Structure 1
Amino acid sequence: MSGYDPRGKANRALLVGVSEYDHVRPDDREGVPGQLPGVLHNRLRLREALRRTGLFEAGHITLCASPPHDVFNEALRHAAQETDGLLLFYFAGHGIVPAAGDELFLQMSNARVVAGQHDAFPNAVPFTEILAQLVASRAERVLVVLDCCYAGNAAAIWHRFDHLRRRKTLLLMSVQSNRLIDAGDGSGATPFTEELVQILEKEAELSLGALYTQLKERMAAAGHRTAVDDGQDPQGVWEPGEDLLLRSAGTATHAPPAPQDGRAGPHPRRRGRRLAAVRAAAARAGRIRPRVRLLLALAVLVAGCGGYGISRLLGDDSLCAPPLELRVLTDPELEPVVTAAKTRFLDSDANKEDGCHRLGITVYSAGAAETVDALHRHTDPWQEPHPEGENPQRDIGPQPDVWIPATVADVRRVTEDRRVRSYARLEPEPKPLAYSPVVLAVPEGLATEAPRRSGRPLAELIRALGQRLPEAETRRPDPERTDSALLATTALYATGTGARDAERRLTQAAAPAPTAAELLCDLLEDTGVDRRTAALVPEFLLKSGTTCSNVTVRRVSRVAEYPRDVPALRPAFVRVRWQDADRDEDRRNEAVRSFRDWLYGEEGQAVLGAAGFRSAGTGHRLLAAKPAEGMLADPGRPQPDAVGKTMTDTLLRYRTASGPGRVLFLLDSSGSMATRWKGSSGGPGLVRKALGALADDKDEYGVWAMHGISGDGYAPLLPLGPHKKADAERILLDGDLTTVHDTEADPRRALLAALEQLADRDGADDRPQLVVLITDDEDNNRLTGADRAAVLAKARTARIPVAVVSLDGGGCDPSRVDAMLAEASGGRCLDAGDDLGTALHDEVARTGMGDG
């Protein structure tokens, strides 16, 4: 379990409880079903319970009491901006789903329901938009707790997000999908939140997983029912292996007891009248002087969210207008740097006028390839998301005012060969913001001498590393996610050997790391791997990318080698103008200019230099006073500019080379395998585990039983093609089909047939392919002399890697035929010295597209 520990972090909680609604049936036919007085207790009880956990500092738990739509959006935006550790988002109120569709809407205090052929929910917020803002926040983890009707429908929305966003976000829901729930009689908290609070108030160590288990047990024991009279069953979704520490034993703080209903504030009815009066006054604000109008706006904010964000509006004891908000989208590799620059800018004199902040800035990132594609083809649904189909607002985030890609070549990829109408116009600055070469970060003990650390092609640097240490590895992050990885891949593919062969030079167990920073942190999980592995990363990370959470081991020092053929990062500042988005055009233009000028100015360049960047000017000098450890002050000739078309072509080749794949298992079924047959470490057991790396209906695979010294030398148990894993596993568990045979085996016949079959299919596509041979080596006497030479020759010419799994100790010694076969084919040899199940799974994962 990789449990997240939020202790000591800048955690925040936003508790949204809508107990009072402006439009309620039956008096208002467009109203919600009724008021929810119990939600008032929810807010107060949960706040006190969270205080006792010790995770939230004073002032970091915000109550948002019956906010209207706009106030809620502002509170959510600020919470997403200001949280670095755990962000807990809680909602209690009315939830609703359309008659046709699977979106969940959370209804704010001014919500209405317009029924018809296409239901409309004015002033309700789609959960998709809420989740998009939460996952784009600076928080390391987000916990969402929903106590409303249809809460369980949020799970389907969570599943639409990619793995990285899901890993960051954990959902706890009060009821299963498509169910209405009882809110109680109003004398206390609603049933789900009451049970939640009682568990949180216990002074014992508590994880989210344990909380979830107890919640389900307590709700079932209490007999709470849904509107269709089945049990109210809380739901939870998060990525496998994830968990979250909510309280450690002995660290609970003793907060004062929660106020009783009579002292918690105005009676709900009186409070509702007061809030309505404030809103009515605000509606007449057009006839009031600006200063008084601002006071009324603040009054609404105080009434709706307990004064949240007012400190942002006040400066030097003067009353300040709300700052204009800019949205800045960037490459995932650049997000920490741009965020640091944003933070410095917001507090700088350049962002202040008469003591007030002029601007607010939201920085978020999305996969580089996904962003380029959205700006190239999907600007229409980015403005107006389609009910079914593309939705960049959900998958990437809000429409950006500024885009900072890692290279200006991305702008050309967006604008060239565009065959659909665009609703966004890109205006890139002519000069990049900074410069950072992509380097091969080599463990210090494996680095070459200084004069030869630059000026050579990437392929030569990797080859030389292998000559210095044969077991050395090279890894690269995901080219789909970051431009730095894609630029490194352009050089890997430029050697003319083909994308699949280039990918085999890398050691990528299962899916590659999303970013270079995460790759460097992943290496720390195994000191041995860290010491023998070079990483393709942007140079600036040698200075600013060395902090990894939950890591106690000392990082191996790394030295940068500078390949001459990998294009460098040249981050671009791009103004994005959206069609018909001209309401605040003059103010927004001035805001963009202000941030741009600051970034290009002395203060902004100092932030980039502190992160490890070089100047974009001639010579690319370091912006910092001296290089970080492992960097060269002057690496010589600069790396080339990126070419948009080359990047696009490389990405297409990468996608093809990365799957779906084709795997053929040769399972030694001769009599000598009888003692190595049963259990997870036996022959069929190893195949079953490897199937987890293959995807149903995408990857193709087959299993041949290898036995007999005449005829074909094998019998197909599972023909080569797409299969359901469950069907394949049933065959492997069938004792009548999968069994040892009282005969010897001829691996020569089976290997030649397998390589021939995959080579024939290779002409139709460029899919990655793999032969897996699982054997006890008992029959390797048939791989000698001319027979051995024929198999090795076929392995070299077929260019299909063979993974040899030897169940015999020492089977992969260099003098053994298993090692020769793996080397000749470009595959890998595994023997009893390895964790065979895991190692084979990872090897197959490099070919397949399964879930790992």
Structure 2
Amino acid sequence: MSRFDARGRVNRALLVGVSEYDHTAPEHPQGVNGQLPAVRRNRTTLEDALNRGHVFGAGEVKSLASPTQDDFTGALSRACREARGLLLLYFAGHAVTSTSGSELHLQMRTARVLTGNGLPGSVSFSQVLGELVESHAEQVVVILDCCYAGNAAGIWHRLDDPRRHKILLLMSVQPNRCILGGTAKVATPFTRELVHVLDEGGEVWLSELYDAVERRMAEARYRAEDNDLQRPQALARPWNGDDVLLAAGPVDLSGGAGGTSGGWFARLRRRFAPARQGTGPRLRRTALSVLLALLATSAGGYGLLALTGDSGSCEPPLELRVLTDPDLEPAMRAAADAYLASADNTTEDGCLRSGVTVYSAGAAHVVTALGEHSDPWQQPREDVNPQRDVGPQPDVWIPATRADVGRVTEAQVDRVFARLEPDAGPFAYSPVVLAVPESLDVGVAPTGRSLPELIRVLKDADTKAQVRRPDPEFSDSALLATVGLYGDGGDVRRAERLITQAGRPEPSAVKLLCTLPEDDAADDRSAVLVPEFLLRSGVGCHSVTRAERTALYPDDVPGLEPTFVRVRWEGGDRDAQARDEAVNRFRDWLAGKGGREVLGKQGFRSAKDERGLIAGQAAEHGLTGSVPSADPADATQLDRTLERYGNAHGPGRVLFLLDSSGSMAGLWDGPSGGPGILKQTLTGLGKEDEYGVWAVHGVGRPTHTELLDFRTHSRAEAEGALKTGGGGAEVRDAEADPHAGLLDALEFMRERGAGDERPQLIVYLTDGEDDNRLTGDRLREVEDRAGESGVPVVMVTLNSGACDRDRPGTRIAEAAQGRCLDAGDDLVPALRDEVARTGTGEE
């Protein structure tokens, strides 16, 4: 190993801490998830530690407090030009990944998240790496303390530049994991422990720093979101190549966290030595083996740990890779942790028989990868790379429903490199429930109704009640709920209107239950479609308390039936016998007493007989003792439901009706005028959405003039049509007939939506002056046509009181399952949300 000591060279440290953001949710619909006061302390404490460390000279440590995107890229470019020895880049703040998880975006102060996956104000990690490889520095260290930090390693591996090997990575959390934001009182856990080790004195090398930080975090049992342990990661170079000196303070003779990796292992062995005579070597070796195996797992497979004890040695155990559904992952991790320490997984010499790594990925992605991409899973391609997008090749797959196995095998046509061997039946069961806050008094029996019926009863009981569901394209529990929501051949567009959606849905039920408590009002009025077991085991990703909920059990929604599936890979027979033995031991333990004990605590039911709870009393957790026997999921049904969901959330169609009669003259110009309001909703529409604008005026035929023809448009083109004056949008010297205009619009949209399930919307914006033409039979005719059309109608009136009970706008919106908005509402964001719900948003 070569050791790089940069003292006396031209070095640079760029510390970026984004603690304040201009746009935060829920106040800003496109904002990031809140401010990060702890990051301010991260930045200042690390700056002080590096200045005390004597590797960086005076003026070589630069700190950036909540920079904009341009400020960051400019500072990074300067540091890359100036550094000749060591260049250290540290980032703490919000970060998000692309949908596939293949890119990491660092969010600067002005960051926003657009509906169409646009991320203005962010910098991709690929761009950062591109700058760093071009730098003049001999050695580069990147430290990331942010959500999804572990995803940076995959991006490093995909960087097609031999100079990438001068870049070493330390990451605060494993891939595809979020960390908690903390408070202003202390730095976040990873940076806090990083600074602690740097300050202990003596020479601190990168490899030793990582070892010590990993140990301290494991001992403290810091938690990431979803109640996972937060496990730091490192790109492996300090263990098999270059190592870098990061601090050279006064030598600490007290045996602190300096020293070599070997010295750390010696300290670990001493820690697990017997406290008194009579503590046997087997116990010592078992405790040490368990800890080191867990640490090896948490390091993501990087590095090799020699497991040594006082009276004999333990070989590194064979590692089982267990892939599961995102909602099952916390429970499967709990099971794996219990199995690791069990007697079933321990030899007579006190060594581990096998390790277990549990990871998850979106259910639809896994089905596609196993069914269609098992070849590139073994030999990744640039365009198709399941190793990057899903994870390593699994030995065991635990889907949330056995129907997923059928979906995979039906898709396996040729060049199949992964063979599935599923168990005959599931090892546990959990129904998908509609979990209703106790503050919403529904007054309905928990069983005996379909999901659409339960939702309608809920909304009839409280008009402000909302129903939220995770993403069916990611979570099987959400897909199973959608099976019941759509029914057999039901109206998909109408069914989707029953679900509350503002922007992108949360990827999993665990994540949904984590984010809801951030807004007490939303939490208290939101019923959620989630697996029942989560109401028992809970989610520990936030310190706040979420609303207490009672479970309602729709009788048309298949339940979760986690199934143990052995995955065999072509060419993977070198250690087949040992791997089979390890898989069989884990399967037997999971189905036996040890596994049932863990699954019971997690809130699962028996997969057999009456499907009673494995442990605990149902009433204590808002559950029912016996659950209805819904039909199991069917592979073809799931695929068809997913296809229909994709259609219903694909490119949309929106027809805007703008009252252009003379009475609108005083409500026309500026951002609060009719055209200005419509212009501000265009951010909810993307390049593939079709939309048009009618200027409604005249009481005969025609009922309108076309301002913007109905097709796809560029943003500039649409804004030009809504520009007031100069031949654009103009007020006419005429009255308007909303009755005739709405009937024409409903017929127009009916013709365009006849052949597909794409989302549609009609927006009618008016001052309400001509509502006298929406009375009696004329109003009832519009209501009837709107109710039959399946096209939601948003009635927007620029005067107060237009959405009171029995007013025309209210009645039409209710008939069409749309929404009524008037001057008493926050018009622009509310209307923009409705348009965004239909459109795909800006790229």
Do both share a fold (TM > 0.5)?
yes
Partner of 1:484: 477
- Partner amino acid for 1:366? A
Counterpart of 2:625 (choices 611, 634, 637) is 634
User: 1:350-389, aligned counterparts within 5 Å?
Assistant: 350-353=344-347, 354-387=349-382, 389=383
1-structure distance, mates of 2:731, 2:639: 50
Q: How far does residue 627 in structure 1 lie from its aligned partner after superposition?
A: 2.8
Q: How far does residue 43 in structure 1 lie from its aligned partner after superposition?
A: 12
1-structure distance, mates of 2:330, 2:119: 16
2-structure distance, mates of 1:166, 1:397: 28
> Is the contact between residue 612 and residue 626 of structure 2 (CA under 8 Å) also seen in structure 1?
no
After TM superposition, the score normalised by the length of structure 1 is: 0.67
Question: 1:201-221, CA deviations, whole angstroms, 9 ceiling, x for partnerless residues?
Answer: xxxxx999xxxxxxxxxxxxx
Counterpart of 2:137 (choices 163, 183, 194) is 183
Counterpart of 2:455 (choices 452, 456, 462) is 462
SS of the aligned residue for 1:666 comes to strand
Partner of 2:317: 323
Counterpart of 1:332 (choices 323, 326, 330) is 326
Counterpart of 1:511 (choices 504, 515, 531) is 504
2-structure distance, mates of 1:801, 1:273: 62
> Is the contact between residue 135 and residue 169 of structure 1 (CA under 8 Å) also seen in structure 2?
no
SS of the aligned residue for 1:427 comes to strand
Instruction: Kindly indicate whether residue 720 of structure 2 is the aligned counterpart of residue 730 of structure 1.
Output: yes
Partner of 2:25: none
SS of the aligned residue for 2:594 comes to helix
Partner of 1:540: 533
Q: How far does residue 39 in structure 1 lie from its aligned partner after superposition?
A: 10
After TM superposition, the score normalised by the length of structure 2 is: 0.68
Structure 1 residues 795 and 135: alpha-carbon distance in aligned structure 2, compared to 1, 3 A threshold: closer
2-structure distance, mates of 1:643, 1:314: 50
Q: How far does residue 712 in structure 1 lie from its aligned partner after superposition?
A: 2.0
Question: 1:243-283, CA deviations, whole angstroms, 9 ceiling, x for partnerless residues?
Answer: 9979968867681566499xx99xxxxx99999xxxxxxxx
Q: How far does residue 546 in structure 1 lie from its aligned partner after superposition?
A: 4.1
Instruction: Kindly indicate whether residue 440 of structure 2 is the aligned counterpart of residue 446 of structure 1.
Output: yes
SS of the aligned residue for 1:397 comes to coil
2-structure distance, mates of 1:406, 1:438: 11
Partner of 1:752: 743
Structure 1 residues 42 and 325: alpha-carbon distance in aligned structure 2, compared to 1, 3 A threshold: farther
1-structure distance, mates of 2:14, 2:686: 43
- Partner amino acid for 2:437? P
Instruction: Kindly indicate whether residue 585 of structure 2 is the aligned counterpart of residue 594 of structure 1.
Output: yes
- Partner amino acid for 1:589? D
Aligned-pair identity (%): 48
Question: 1:587-633, CA deviations, whole angstroms, 9 ceiling, x for partnerless residues?
Answer: 11111112111111111111111111111121112112323644335
Q: How far does residue 677 in structure 1 lie from its aligned partner after superposition?
A: 3.1
User: 1:421-820, aligned counterparts within 5 Å?
Assistant: 421-446=415-440, 448=442, 452-494=445-487, 496-549=489-542, 552=544, 554-627=545-618, 629-696=620-687, 698-733=688-723, 735-736=725-726, 737-820=728-811
Counterpart of 1:345 (choices 339, 346, 349) is 339
Unaligned runs of 5+ in 2: 18-38, 47-79, 81-95, 108-112, 148-177, 188-194, 210-239, 245-291
Partner of 2:394: 400
Q: What is the number of residues matched between the two proteins?
A: 641
> Is the contact between residue 473 and residue 507 of structure 1 (CA under 8 Å) also seen in structure 2?
yes
User: 1:238-277, aligned counterparts within 5 Å?
Assistant: 255-256=199-200, 259=203
Q: How far does residue 693 in structure 1 lie from its aligned partner after superposition?
A: 1.7
SS of the aligned residue for 1:371 comes to helix
User: 1:28-67, aligned counterparts within 5 Å?
Assistant: 38=6
- Partner amino acid for 2:410? E
- Partner amino acid for 2:434? L
2-structure distance, mates of 1:841, 1:408: 40
> For structure 1, which segment, 628-637 or 505-514, has the greater mean C-alpha deviation from structure 2 after superposition?
628-637
Q: How far does residue 439 in structure 1 lie from its aligned partner after superposition?
A: 0.8
RMSD: 4.4
Structure 1 residues 174 and 844: alpha-carbon distance in aligned structure 2, compared to 1, 3 A threshold: closer
Unaligned runs of 5+ in 1: 1-17, 21-35, 57-94, 96-130, 146-158, 185-189, 201-205, 209-241, 266-270, 276-297
Q: How far does residue 367 in structure 1 lie from its aligned partner after superposition?
A: 1.1
SS of the aligned residue for 1:439 comes to strand
SS of the aligned residue for 2:795 comes to strand
Partner of 2:54: none
2-structure distance, mates of 1:361, 1:607: 16
Question: 1:413-468, CA deviations, whole angstroms, 9 ceiling, x for partnerless residues?
Answer: 11136433311110011131210011111122435557x21122222222222332
Q: How far does residue 173 in structure 1 lie from its aligned partner after superposition?
A: 6.1
Structure 1 residues 52 and 662: alpha-carbon distance in aligned structure 2, compared to 1, 3 A threshold: closer
> Is the contact between residue 748 and residue 782 of structure 1 (CA under 8 Å) also seen in structure 2?
yes
- Partner amino acid for 1:377? E
> Is the contact between residue 539 and residue 631 of structure 1 (CA under 8 Å) also seen in structure 2?
no
Q: How far does residue 486 in structure 1 lie from its aligned partner after superposition?
A: 1.0
Q: How far does residue 545 in structure 1 lie from its aligned partner after superposition?
A: 2.9
SS of the aligned residue for 1:416 comes to helix
Instruction: Kindly indicate whether residue 839 of structure 2 is the aligned counterpart of residue 845 of structure 1.
Output: no
SS of the aligned residue for 2:482 comes to helix
Partner of 2:824: 833
- Partner amino acid for 1:357? L
> Is the contact between residue 136 and residue 397 of structure 1 (CA under 8 Å) also seen in structure 2?
no
Q: How far does residue 844 in structure 1 lie from its aligned partner after superposition?
A: 1.7
SS of the aligned residue for 1:344 comes to helix
> For structure 1, which segment, 315-324 or 348-357, has the greater mean C-alpha deviation from structure 2 after superposition?
315-324
Q: How far does residue 337 in structure 1 lie from its aligned partner after superposition?
A: 1.0
- Partner amino acid for 1:701? Y
> Is the contact between residue 38 and residue 183 of structure 1 (CA under 8 Å) also seen in structure 2?
no
2-structure distance, mates of 1:477, 1:459: 17
- Partner amino acid for 2:696? M
> Is the contact between residue 53 and residue 247 of structure 1 (CA under 8 Å) also seen in structure 2?
no
Question: 1:552-603, CA deviations, whole angstroms, 9 ceiling, x for partnerless residues?
Answer: 4x42221011111211111011000011111211111111112111111111
Structure 1 residues 682 and 348: alpha-carbon distance in aligned structure 2, compared to 1, 3 A threshold: farther
Q: How far does residue 316 in structure 1 lie from its aligned partner after superposition?
A: 6.1
Question: 1:270-312, CA deviations, whole angstroms, 9 ceiling, x for partnerless residues?
Answer: x99999xxxxxxxxxxxxxxxxxxxxxx9xx99xx9x997767
SS of the aligned residue for 1:846 comes to helix
> Is the contact between residue 142 and residue 168 of structure 1 (CA under 8 Å) also seen in structure 2?
no
1-structure distance, mates of 2:646, 2:710: 22
1-structure distance, mates of 2:700, 2:345: 82
> Is the contact between residue 681 and residue 836 of structure 1 (CA under 8 Å) also seen in structure 2?
no
Q: How far does residue 144 in structure 1 lie from its aligned partner after superposition?
A: 9.0
2-structure distance, mates of 1:434, 1:754: 51
> Is the contact between residue 804 and residue 810 of structure 2 (CA under 8 Å) also seen in structure 1?
yes
1-structure distance, mates of 2:416, 2:201: 57
> Is the contact between residue 663 and residue 771 of structure 1 (CA under 8 Å) also seen in structure 2?
yes
- Partner amino acid for 2:705? A
Q: How far does residue 368 in structure 1 lie from its aligned partner after superposition?
A: 0.9
SS of the aligned residue for 2:572 comes to coil
> For structure 1, which segment, 490-499 or 597-606, has the greater mean C-alpha deviation from structure 2 after superposition?
490-499
Q: How far does residue 519 in structure 1 lie from its aligned partner after superposition?
A: 2.2
Q: How far does residue 753 in structure 1 lie from its aligned partner after superposition?
A: 1.9
Counterpart of 1:410 (choices 397, 404, 408) is 404
> Is the contact between residue 541 and residue 612 of structure 1 (CA under 8 Å) also seen in structure 2?
yes
